[in-house]
Structure 1
Amino acid sequence: MSTLSDLVYAQGRSRSEEVEWLHRLAGDGQLLADLAFADIVIWVPTADDSFVAVAHTRPSGAATLFYRDIVSDRVRPQWATQVRDAFVSGRIVDSASPDWFEETPTRVRAVPIVRRSGETVETVGVLTRHTNLGETRTPSRQQITFNDCADDMFGMIASGEFPDLSTPTAPRRGAPRASDGLIRIDPAGVVTFASPNALSAFNRMGFDDELEGESLVEVTTRILTTRREFDESLPLVVTGRAPWRADIEAQGVTVSLRTIPLRDRGTRIGAIVLCRDVTELRHQEQELITKDATIREIHHRVKNNLQTVASLLRIQARRSHSDEAREALTQAMRRVSAIAVVHDTLSEGLTQSVDFDDVFARVLKLVAEVAAAAPSTRARTRSIGRFGTLPSAYATPLALALTELVTNAVEHGLAGQEGDVEILADRTDERLEVRVRDNGVGLPEGLVGRGLGTQIVRTLIQGELGGTIDWHTLVGSGTEVTIEIPLRYIERIQG
C-alpha cells in the first residue's frame, strides 16, 4: 500500500508543508474516529479535478462502514459533489439525506482541511466522516459528549486551528485514546464531563470524589500534595491551555494526560483532556532503562578489563628475551586492544549497534602504533567509503579481522620501505565489500600465508560472518585482500 506522502505527491498539487499538515491530521485520525463513532477518510485533489483517499481510520467503538481499506481509491460519485463543494467553499458540508453504501444507510459530513501559515490560508484537502446509521440506538451522555467534541474539532480543522503545530512530536506509544478516558473542561478549567474510565484513573491515584464540577487544577494539586517534583508542563496541560502531554504519579499509579485545546474562530472554549493509566508501561520503560544502563556498564567493565590484559601483554612483551615470543605477545596485545575498541564504543550508547566507521578510525590508530614501532617502515593508511551502522556481534569479528589484515600489510607488505595501505568499503543493500590493499612487495609467488593471523582472519570472516575472503597480487606490485559479507547475514545477527 502506498504511503500518505507517496499518494499526495503523486497528484502533483502539494508541497512538503501541506504533506506535513496532512500527516499530523492523519496521526489523530483514530481520535477523530473514536469521538465521532464513524469512519474518517482524508482526500486530496487530483490533477484531473477529482479526489483520492490518502488516509482511512476506523472507529474502535462502533461498526465500521468500510470493511476494505479505501486508501488510494478515487472518491465515489455519490460523495464527489459534497467533497468538491467543501473543498471549494471552505465550509463544512453535510449530506442532505441519508446516503446508502452497500445497502447500509449512512450520513456523510465533508470537512475542508484548512492550513494556516502566517497570513496564508489554503485548503489542502477534505476530511469526510461516514456514520453507520444501521446500528443507531439512543445515544448515551458519553456518546453525545464525544460527538460534541468531534464537532468542535471538525470546526477547528475547517478554520485551520487543528492540527496544532505547537504539539510536541513525541512518540505516540502509550498515548491516551478517547476510550481510555476523556475529560472535558470549560475555559476556566472546570470539569464538565468525565468518562467512567477517566474517573477510575483519578480514583486509583487517591481522588475519591466526582470529577464533574471540580477544577482539574485543584484536583491535581490535591493528588500531588505529597510530591515535590512533577512534570513542568503539567500546569498548562490540566488548565487546557497547551496541546501537550504530561504524567501524573501518585499512590504508585501513573496516568498520562494529553490536552487538546478547543477553539471557535480563535476564542478558547475549553479543552479535551485524554487520560490513560500507564503504570505498567512506565514500569516496563524503567526496567528497560535499568537494563540498558547495566549493559553499558558491562561493556565499560569489559573494555577496562581488556585494556588491562593488553597492558599486561605489553609489559610481558617488553621483558621477553626472545624475538619470537615478543612478536607473539605484541600481536596478542593488538588483538585484545581491537576488541576493546568495540566495547568502548558500545559503552557510550543505549543501542547494541555501532557506527563502524568510528570503530575503524580507532582501529587504524592501533596500526599506526605498529608502524611507529618499525623505524625503517613508513606506512600511510587511508580509509575510503563508509561501513555504516553494524550490530555489535558483527562489529567485533570484523574489527579484529581488519586489524590483522592492515597490520600484515604494514609489517609484511611494506616491510622496510615506504608505502600506502588503503581500506575501501563499499556497502549496498545486498552486501558489504571491504578491500585492503598495499603497494608493497606483493605475495611471494602469489601464495597466501599459513600463519596464525591468516587462520584468525579466515575463521572470523568465513566462520562467524558467513562471508568470503580472497588474497591476490596486484599487477606490478602490492597485495589486495577482498572481503565480502552478505547483508542478509547481518540482518540475521540483528534479529
Structure 2
Amino acid sequence: MSFTDPLRTVPDFDAGDAEWLHLLVGDWQMVADLGVGDLLLCFPRSVVPASQSPTGRPIPTEDSDFLVLAHARPTTGPTAYQKDMVGETVSGDVARPLRRAWIDQRIEKMGPSEWSSLAPRSVTLVPLVRNNRTIAVVSLTAEPHHDRLPSRMELVYRQSASDLLRMANEGTWPDFAVRIDSRRGAPRVGDGLIRLDTDGVVEFCSPNGLSTFRRLGLQGDLTGQNLLHAACQLQLNAPGVDETLAPVLAGTMPWRAELSAVKASASLRAFPLRRGTERAGALVLCRDVTELRRRDLQLVSKDATIREIHHRVKNNLQTVSALLRLQSRRMNSVEGRNGLQQAMRRVSSIARVHESLSHEISEDVDFDDLIRHQVKLAVETASATQHVHTEVHGEFGRLPSKSATSVALVVNELVANAVEHGLRDRDGTVELSVAHLQDEVDAAGSANRVLEITIDDDGGGMGDTVIEESGVSAYRPPAEGEGLGMQIVRTLVASELGGSIRWQPGESGGTRVVITARFPQQASGRG
C-alpha cells in the first residue's frame, strides 16, 4: 500500500498532489539531516470537502485525528522517537495544532505546553500547500540550543532546512523538474554541503565539501568564489564545464551531475532556493565518489572480459564442430559418419548457449530465441530427405547459463530422436511446448521455478508403453536399443535439471516426451 492512499480517497485531491508528496518524501531525508530532527508526514483521518467547507478548501473535521503517513530520522543527530511512527494516530491536544496549521496554512513553532509529550524539544509544523490547498502537514521535532552556542555549520544547516520547509509550505519545493537518476553515489548532507548566494558565489562550504573539491585539484578555499568559475579552473577529464553540469554548479536547476578529474570524481546535486517567485540562492550537495566509480569501472571491465571469454569459447566450439563435419565426410562407415554428425550437433548446441552469453551482461540467457534456432538446427541435421515441420509453443523466459546448456542438449537429442526414430524417413511434424508449473520450495528452503517441457511427434509411436524415470533410476546403464543420446538425456534431466522424464503415446499418434525441470527462483525472470 502506498503512503499516499489516504490522500487519494479525498475527491478534492488529485494524482498530481500524490506525486508531489512522493517527490517530497523521496528527498526529505536531507531536510531531517539539515534540521537535525525527525520529520513526520501527517494527514487527517476525516476531511470536510471543499464544497462544504467555510474556507472553500478541504479541511479536517473539528475532532479529526491525524494519521502519520511517513517518518524520517536524522543521520546527523539523535532521534526524537524511539519507535517507527508510521501508522500511529495523533489525537487529542496534539492534533489541534495540526488542524490549526492545516487551516491557517502558516508555519507554526510549538512550545512545550502545546506538545508536552516531547518537551523540551521544539516542534515546527509546516502545512504543505499546493494550488492553494493544504494536502498534508509536516512536523519537524528537534533539540533546541539552550545550553550552548551553535556552530556556524549548525546555523547554516538549520537555516537551510528552514528554507526548504518554507518552500514546501509555498508549494515551490520539491520541483517536478527534478531528474530521477538511479546511478550509485547520490550525495547526502554529511558528504558535503555548499550554500550559494543568488550569483552562484559560495557563502558556506562544509569541511567535507571542501575536501571533495580539494581531491579534484582545488587550491585554497571555496568560500567567496563563484562555484562555476572555480570548477572551470580544475583539470577535468572533459574540457570545460558542459551545459548539463553548469546549471548544477550555478544552482539554477534541481539536477544531478558529476565532476571527473584525472584521479578523482565527485557527484553533485543542486537544490535551488526560492522566496516566492524570486531566487534566494541554492544548496549544492557533493560527494567524493572516486572509489565507487573505480569499482564501477572494474565491474564493466569484468563483464566485458566474461563476454569475451564466452565469445572465444563459442568460436572454439564452432571450430571443433567444423572439424567433426570435415572428418565425417571422410568416413566410409555409415555408423561412424552418423556418430560424428551427432557429436557435431551436440557441440553446436553448447556453442549457441555461449554465443547468447557473449551478448549478455548477466549470467542467464533469454532462452526462447535460442531454442527456436536450436530446434530447427536439430531437425535439419537429423533429417536427410524428408520434410519436417517444427512448432514451438510457450515461453521459457530467462534461464541460468548452466541450466540453459543442459536444456539445449536435452531438447537437441529428443528432437533429433523424434526425427530419426519417430518419423524415420517420413515427412511429419515435431512440436516443442513449455508450460510454467507452480513454484516449489526444496528441502533447503530455496524456491525453484518448475517448467514442463513437452516434445511431440506424429510418427509411428511406441505403442502403449509408458516409461518414466527420475533420480537414481535415471543413471542406469543403457538398455538394449538405446544410444548415447538417450543416456545423455536421462543423466542431464536427473542431475542438472533436478527433474523427471516420461515417454508416452501421443494424443493423436506418435510419441510424447514430457520433461519436468527445476530452476533457481532468483533466475526466474521471464524476459
Q: TM above 0.5, one fold?
A: yes
Aligned to 1:404: 413
The whole-number CA distance in structure 1 between the counterparts of 2:340 and 2:24 is 64
Q: 1:468 aligns with which of 500, 511, 516?
A: 500
Contact 1:182 1:273 in 2 (8 A): yes
The whole-number CA distance in structure 2 between the counterparts of 1:11 and 1:485 is 46
| Deviation, structure 1 residue 464 | 1.3
Aligned to 2:357: 346
The whole-number CA distance in structure 1 between the counterparts of 2:95 and 2:372 is 60
Contact 1:64 1:132 in 2 (8 A): no
Q: Quick check: 1:391 aligned with 2:406?
A: no
Provide Cα deviations, 1:313-347, integer angstroms capped at 9, x if missing partner. Answer: 22222332222122221121111111111211111
| Deviation, structure 1 residue 188 | 0.7
The CA RMSD measured in Å over matched residues stands at: 2.9
Contact 2:216 2:264 in 1 (8 A): yes
Aligned to 2:455: 436
Aligned to 1:59: 74
SS at match of 2:121: strand
* Residues 465 and 97 of structure 1: CA distance in aligned 2, closer, same or farther (over 3 Å): same
* Residues 139 and 341 of structure 1: CA distance in aligned 2, closer, same or farther (over 3 Å): same
Q: 1:420 aligns with which of 416, 420, 429?
A: 429
Contact 1:296 1:350 in 2 (8 A): yes
* Residues 221 and 83 of structure 1: CA distance in aligned 2, closer, same or farther (over 3 Å): same
Contact 1:394 1:493 in 2 (8 A): no
| Deviation, structure 1 residue 98 | 5.4
Contact 2:398 2:523 in 1 (8 A): no
> Residues 11-30 of structure 1 correspond to what in structure 2 (within 5 A)?
17-30=16-29
Q: 1:276 aligns with which of 287, 295, 298?
A: 287
SS at match of 1:446: coil
| Deviation, structure 1 residue 105 | 3.0
Give the aligned residue type for 2:235: L
Give the aligned residue type for 2:385: P
Aligned to 1:478: 510
Q: Quick check: 1:374 aligned with 2:403?
A: no
Provide Cα deviations, 1:455-482, integer angstroms capped at 9, x if missing partner. Answer: 2122222101222222222345122222
Q: 2:121 aligns with which of 106, 115, 121?
A: 106
| Deviation, structure 1 residue 11 | 5.4
The whole-number CA distance in structure 1 between the counterparts of 2:43 and 2:183 is 25
SS at match of 2:219: coil
The whole-number CA distance in structure 2 between the counterparts of 1:136 and 1:39 is 20
The whole-number CA distance in structure 2 between the counterparts of 1:344 and 1:441 is 36
Gaps of 5+ in 2: 48-63, 441-449, 468-480
| Deviation, structure 1 residue 245 | 1.6
Aligned to 1:228: 239
Provide Cα deviations, 1:390-443, integer angstroms capped at 9, x if missing partner. Answer: 222222212222222222223322333343332222225442222222332222
SS at match of 1:105: coil
| Deviation, structure 1 residue 276 | 0.9
Provide Cα deviations, 1:19-66, integer angstroms capped at 9, x if missing partner. Answer: 443332222132111011111222345567654333221101111012
| Deviation, structure 1 residue 84 | 3.6
The whole-number CA distance in structure 2 between the counterparts of 1:102 and 1:433 is 61
The whole-number CA distance in structure 1 between the counterparts of 2:46 and 2:425 is 71
The range that moved more, 218-227 or 190-199, is 218-227
Aligned to 2:32: 33
The range that moved more, 20-29 or 79-88, is 79-88
* Residues 124 and 461 of structure 1: CA distance in aligned 2, closer, same or farther (over 3 Å): farther
Contact 1:440 1:477 in 2 (8 A): yes
SS at match of 2:451: strand
Contact 1:105 1:134 in 2 (8 A): no
SS at match of 2:81: coil
The whole-number CA distance in structure 1 between the counterparts of 2:439 and 2:132 is 43
* Residues 387 and 257 of structure 1: CA distance in aligned 2, closer, same or farther (over 3 Å): same
> Residues 157-236 of structure 1 correspond to what in structure 2 (within 5 A)?
157-171=168-182, 173-224=184-235, 228=239, 232-236=243-247
SS at match of 2:90: coil
The range that moved more, 58-67 or 123-132, is 123-132
Aligned to 2:314: 303
| Deviation, structure 1 residue 295 | 0.9
Give the aligned residue type for 2:510: G
Provide Cα deviations, 1:259-283, integer angstroms capped at 9, x if missing partner. Answer: 1111222322111111111111111
Contact 1:104 1:133 in 2 (8 A): no
Contact 1:99 1:105 in 2 (8 A): no
Q: 2:465 aligns with which of 446, 450, 460?
A: 446
Aligned to 1:458: 490
The whole-number CA distance in structure 1 between the counterparts of 2:240 and 2:306 is 29
Contact 1:104 1:134 in 2 (8 A): no
Give the aligned residue type for 1:37: V
The whole-number CA distance in structure 2 between the counterparts of 1:228 and 1:219 is 14
Contact 2:457 2:512 in 1 (8 A): yes
Contact 2:8 2:14 in 1 (8 A): no
Give the aligned residue type for 1:480: R
| Deviation, structure 1 residue 182 | 0.2
Provide Cα deviations, 1:89-147, integer angstroms capped at 9, x if missing partner. Answer: 544343254555756533322333445xxxx6654433222224599643211111111
Gaps of 5+ in 1: none
Runs of 4+ in structure 1 displaced over 6 angstroms?
none
The whole-number CA distance in structure 2 between the counterparts of 1:433 and 1:225 is 56
Contact 1:106 1:134 in 2 (8 A): no
| Deviation, structure 1 residue 247 | 1.8
The whole-number CA distance in structure 2 between the counterparts of 1:478 and 1:268 is 79
The whole-number CA distance in structure 2 between the counterparts of 1:484 and 1:229 is 61
| Deviation, structure 1 residue 201 | 1.5
> Residues 59-138 of structure 1 correspond to what in structure 2 (within 5 A)?
59-97=74-112, 100=115, 104-114=119-129, 123-133=134-144, 137-138=148-149
The range that moved more, 444-453 or 148-157, is 444-453
Provide Cα deviations, 1:281-332, integer angstroms capped at 9, x if missing partner. Answer: 1111111111111111111111111122122222222332222122221121
The range that moved more, 85-94 or 405-414, is 85-94
The whole-number CA distance in structure 1 between the counterparts of 2:101 and 2:403 is 56
Q: 1:334 aligns with which of 314, 328, 345?
A: 345
Give the aligned residue type for 1:435: T
The whole-number CA distance in structure 2 between the counterparts of 1:270 and 1:200 is 22
Aligned identity (percent) is 42
SS at match of 1:315: helix
Contact 2:236 2:262 in 1 (8 A): no
Contact 2:68 2:90 in 1 (8 A): yes
* Residues 315 and 131 of structure 1: CA distance in aligned 2, closer, same or farther (over 3 Å): same
Q: 1:355 aligns with which of 362, 366, 391?
A: 366
The range that moved more, 44-53 or 478-487, is 44-53
| Deviation, structure 1 residue 365 | 3.1
The whole-number CA distance in structure 2 between the counterparts of 1:419 and 1:18 is 62
